[in-house]
A and B are shown apart, each in its own frame.
Chain A
Amino acid sequence: MQEFDVLVIGGGAAGLRAAIAAKRAGASVALITKAHPLRTNSGLAQGGINAPLGKDDSPESFAADILAAGDGLCDRSVVQALAQDAVKEVVWLERMGVPFNRDGEGRIDRRSFGSNSRRRSCYTDDRTGFLVLQVLHEQFQRQGIPSFEEWFVTSLAVDAGACVGVTALGLRSGKLDGFAARAVVLATGGFTRMYLPSTVSIGTTGDGQALAFLAGARLLDMEMVQFHPTVFPKRQSLLVTEATLSEGAEIVNQKGEVIEKSKGMPRAQLCLSIAQASGNGDGGAFLDLKPIGKEKLLSRFPQTHELLRSVAGLDATKDLIPIHPVAHRPMGGIETNASGETSVPGLFAVGECACNGLNGAGRLAGNTLTEAVVFGRKVGEAAAAHVKSTASRNFPTSKLADEEKRFAAATGADSSSDTLGKVHAALGQLMNEKVGLTRDASGLEAALDGIKKLQDRYQKIRVRNPSRIFNYELTTYLEVGSMLTLAENVALCAHARTESRGAHRRTDFPDSDNNNWRNHTIVKRVQNSPQVEKKPVAS
């Protein structure tokens, strides 16, 4: 049994920022992460991190753009909190060593990105997420915070309705251990691996959201899933940063004719246009990076060029890149307030696994990293403050034994030919087709039915490998379970919202309905079943 004031689960950008903040606020902190921080999904972010640094910019303008992208579903005060603090956080990142690209005066340069009305996306070539993540990891190490890397959190420990810690499996040691804490901060990332294809790392399976949901926390706006417009859809689906559009890239058809004036368009709109072009039998949509100019392309987007070559076998300076929208990141997640508090006392959430009202129905391009660091700090500090005002509770003594029993029940011989991979593949296709870019009632009902069948199949599957050290079959089993739990919630909320707003497009309800739907969807677990409600948007 280990004991800390604050446990942060998830070693990506938000988790690292929260851990640093909690430590600096005086708490004893530990990080538990199933992937090494430098291997997390945050490292894939490319285009930029927003901050209203320009002379022509302001927190008010920034907030206005966020609200517009959120299409009426944002919490205004949370939006303003981000807009106010973005500059401070980005300057802190620079001082801590992020080598942002500079303008001619040596100041942090900013580029246009998505539907930002000003140039406010700070960047490091096209590896912004990776370099920000590295610096966060560097500062995390500087704080001397114990880091349990390649430990998989298997459950939240709850005592009298409050979260008192977690159980986790150490992959290297094979040991299942309990971690007691007065505050648990989930920073486990998104869930879009339930879609295939998707743009995310293999571990982006929504474990945090599933654990929180099963522990009684509420999830907000789960139907809001953002697709990324410019993704090379074959094989591993390679995301090409939208920032290329701001630097001159064009979206064209096979003949090279421009099919979309794409600069400054919000993502949801762009996705729909591209999907339409592909469906029209025009031979699909392509990204033409040549207008950027070879030199600029190689110096501004070196990683894009390299990955397109190694993953897709394409030369971005010569070839057209076939693109299609692909599932990217959720707006929805664990319901929290601006301090990251969930509906379960002692349980916090931040980053992509959380939904605090910032992103509404559509996330502004370039905001994910800003969100991770601004709220990472706020939530880390809030968790530390919570510790000061909370008495220590008891970690339930039977919890570890219960977990062992759960594993034992899931382990055994399995003579069927059904596998976790087949279930995942079926889920991925189902979500992409029926709960994807566009939805309708019958499709969503078919999806719910399909998910139910997959859940039944899952219940019958057994983990055949009884080992403990690096048992990826067991971790995959748990991850597929998380995705099935959340997929049902996504489909339910998508079915419930009978309008189109932001990223959620209903072909049977193509307009937005402000009379009935200036509301969030909430889903929570009531007697083992998910129940959907509405919650008005804070005004």
Chain B
Amino acid sequence: MEVTYKVYRKDPEKDGKPGRANYAVDLLEGATVLDGLLKIRDEMDSSLAFRASCLRGNCGDCMVRINGGSRLTCVARVSAFTQKGPEISLDPLRNVPVIKDLVFDWDAFMWNKIKAIKPWLEAQEASSNGENIIPDAELKEVRKVMSCYHCGMCDEGCTVLPVDFHFLGPAALTKAYRFVFDPRDKETKERFKTLEGPKGIWDCVHCYEADEHCPRNLEPTKRIVALRDRAFQLGITNEKVARHHNSFAASVKESGWLDEGRLAVESEGLTNISGLMKLLPIAAKALMKGKAPIPYMHSKRPDADKIKKIFEKAEREEK
């Protein structure tokens, strides 16, 4: 079948400006997008740069955008993309620095962020000479999460990264989950110091885009949520987030529902004059419109005591 590849080009050894090149190539039925790229590079334009390694959809290296959607070229069938016409567009992933053509900067995008979360087990002291004795159930989620093949689709679909490139991102945070929830790792408190710091778990908006994007259903967003929940149970060390979350919990525990006015004030901190001052303009405007819930003037819901019981029971169980 005859297909035209419309490929993003960028040459750092020339002007470095983004462009596009079209290649008409004849491929066998059942050819993959990578087959076409290899043929183009071999027979038509040897300067075309793109990555590939395992050839079997197992290592994540060949990730590009095909007609706007991120895919592995080594398993993507050309015929799946030429339903509307004999053309396909290839681009690097979004929101990632591009080095050359379809080759983008995996280090900045992902590897460096994984390095930042201390990606190795800090093993507990050995109690015997043999292996750790662990029930298989405790390792299932670790195995699942470790089947991540670093394709970057979670990071590419992330809502926060386009706004803040330095957010650690779902891939690195899922890697952090792997260690925090491995029964053999002893560094939990230390790890949370990093994870609760800037650009960490509290910067995630838990919008579940990552879960929707992950081709292996590893549920990266849920892993981040699990880290946040664990941080809550251990005691949140990020001060501002701690104030916010503890205030939220306190008003639901006491009254059954959220006292937003209290939340706004306590998140800043009752003694944080400059923070509270910052709130004044909005608070004033909201007050004028009748939109500002007065903090602490907050009615209890019926059955608030039942909600309180649930909190107390859950907190007891944590211990």
Across-interface contacts of A125 in B (CB, < 8 A): 143, 147
Beta-carbon contact of B11 and A467 below 8 Å:
yes
Q: Which of A100, A101, A141, A311 touches B56 (beta carbons < 8 Å)?
A: A311
A204 to chain B, nearest CB (A): 10
| Chain B proximity mask over A160-195: 1 for CB below 8 Å, otherwise 0 | 000000000000101000000000000000000000
Q: Are A303 and B58 in contact (CB under 8 A)?
A: yes
With known contacts A105-B133, A306-B216, A420-B42, A95–B126 Cβ distance under 8 A: yes
Instruction: Give the CA-CA distance A39 to B52 in the complex, in Å.
Output: 9
Contact of A138 among B59, B106, B120 (CB under 8 A): B120
Closest chain B CB from A470 CB (angstroms): 4
Interface: B123 (CB within 8 A): yes
Q: Which 8 pairs across A and B sit closest by C-beta, in order of nearness?
A: A421-B42, A97-B121, A138-B120, A473-B46, A102-B136, A99-B139, A142-B120, A470-B49
CB distance from A371 to the nearest CB of B (A): 20
Contact A311 B100 (CB under 8 A): no
* Chain A residues closer than 8 Å to B133, beta-carbon distance: 105-107
Cα separation A108 to B131 with both chains bound (whole Å): 7
Chain A residue numbers with a CB within 8 Å of B74 are 236
B181 to chain A, nearest CB (A): 11
Q: Would you list which residues of chain B between 96 and 151 have a CB under 8 Å from chain A?
A: 99-101, 103, 106, 111, 115, 119-121, 123, 126, 129-136, 139, 142-143, 146-147, 149-150
Task: Indicate if the CB atoms of B99 and A172 lie closer than 8 Å.
Answer: yes
**Cβ-defined contact, B143 with A102, below 8 A:** no
Q: Are B58 and A236 closer than 8 Å at their CB atoms?
A: no
Contact string against A for B residues 145-180, beta-carbon threshold 8 Å, 1 for contact and 0 otherwise: 011011000000000000000000000000000000
Given contacts A102-B134, A124-B143, contact A469 B100 (CB under 8 A): yes
Say whether A419 contacts B120, CB under 8 Å. no
B67 in the interface, Cβ–Cβ < 8 Å? no
Interface string of B13-40 (1 = CB under 8 A from A): 1000000000000000010100000110
| A142 to B121 CA separation, bound complex (whole angstroms) | 9
CA distance A134 to B39 in the complex (A): 32
B143 cross-chain contacts in A, Cβ below 8 A: 99, 101, 124-125, 127, 131
Q: At the interface with chain B, which of A40-48, A329-337, A355-363, A395-403?
A: A40-48
| Complex partner residue of B58 from A103, A307, A468, A469, CB under 8 angstroms | A307
Distance of B183 from chain A, by nearest CB (Å): 10
Task: Name the residue on B nearest A43 (C-beta).
Answer: B59
Residue of B12, B54, B150 touching A201 (CB-CB under 8 A)? B54
Interface size on B, residues (CB 8 A): 57
Provide the residues of chain A in CB contact with B129, threshold 8 Å.
91
Contacts of B54 in A (CB 8 A): 39, 41, 43-44, 201-202
Distance, CA A107 to CA B136, complexed state (A): 9
Instruction: Tell me which residues across on chain A come within 8 A of B146, comparing CB atoms.
Output: 99, 124, 127, 130-131, 134
Q: Which of A99, A203, A238 gathers the greatest number of chain B CB atoms within 10 Å?
A: A99
A201 to B41: give the CA distance in the assembly, Å. Answer: 18
Residue numbers in A under 8 Å from B60 (CB-CB): 38-39
Q: What are the residues of chain B within 8 A of A139 when measuring CB–CB? A: 120
Q: Which residue of A lies closest to B140 (CB)?
A: A99
CB distance from B40 to the nearest CB of A (A): 10
Closest residue of chain B to A423, judged by CB? Answer: B42
| Contact yes or no, A201 B55, CB < 8 A | yes
User: Please, how many angstroms separate the alpha-carbon atoms of A193 and B135 in the complex?
Assistant: 41
Whether B135 contacts A106 by the Cβ 8 Å rule is: yes
Q: Which residue of B lies closest to A101 (CB)?
A: B136
Q: Is B272 an interface residue (CB 8 A)?
A: no
Q: Nearest CB to that of B135 among chain A residues?
A: A106
Partner of B75, one of A94, A302, A310: A310
17 A-B residue pairs with CB within 8 Å = A44-B58, A96-B120, A97-B121, A97-B123, A97-B185, A101-B136, A102-B134, A131-B143, A141-B115, A201-B53, A235-B30, A307-B58, A419-B43, A420-B42, A464-B46, A470-B49, A473-B46
In the complex, A463 has a CB within 8 A of chain B: yes
| Pair B49/A419 contact, Cβ less than 8 Å | no
* A36 CB–B CB distance under 8 Å: yes
- Complexed CA–CA distance, A100 and B182 (Å): 12
Give the interface centre of B61, B131, B134 by most chain A CB atoms within 10 Å. B131
**Interface: B299 (CB within 8 A):** no
Once the chains are docked, how many angstroms separate the CA of A138 from the CA of B49? Answer: 29
Asked whether A36 lies within 8 Å of B61 as measured between CB atoms, the reply is yes
- Alpha-carbon distance between A472 and B59 when the two chains are bound, in angstroms: 19
Residues in B whose Cβ lies below 8 Å from that of A107: 130-131, 133
- Does A145 make an interface contact (CB < 8 A)? no
Residues in chain B near residue A467, CB distance under 8 A: 11, 13, 47
Residues of B within 8 A of A138 (CB): 119-121
Nearest to B114 among chain A residues (CB) is A141
Let me know if A43 and B58 touch, CB within 8 A. Answer: yes
Q: B106, A95: Cβ atoms under 8 Å?
A: no
Task: Tell me which residues across on chain B come within 8 A of A43, comparing CB atoms.
Answer: 54, 58-59, 149
Q: Given the interface contacts A91-B130, A125-B143, A472-B41, does A130 sit within 8 Å of B58 by beta carbon? A: yes
Residues on the B chain within 8 Å of A202, using CB:
52-55
Interface hub of A39, A124, A203, A303 (most chain B Cβ within 10 A): A39
The reply on A35 being an interface residue by CB < 8 A is yes
Bound together, the chains give a CA A421 to CA B48 distance in angstroms of 14
Report if B57 contacts A (CB, 8 A).
Answer: yes
Q: Does B184 contact A (CB under 8 A)?
A: yes
Interface residues as binary, A219-254 with B (CB distance below 8 Å gives 1, 0 otherwise): 000000000000000111010000000000000000
Decide if A127 touches B134 in the complex (CB within 8 Å). no
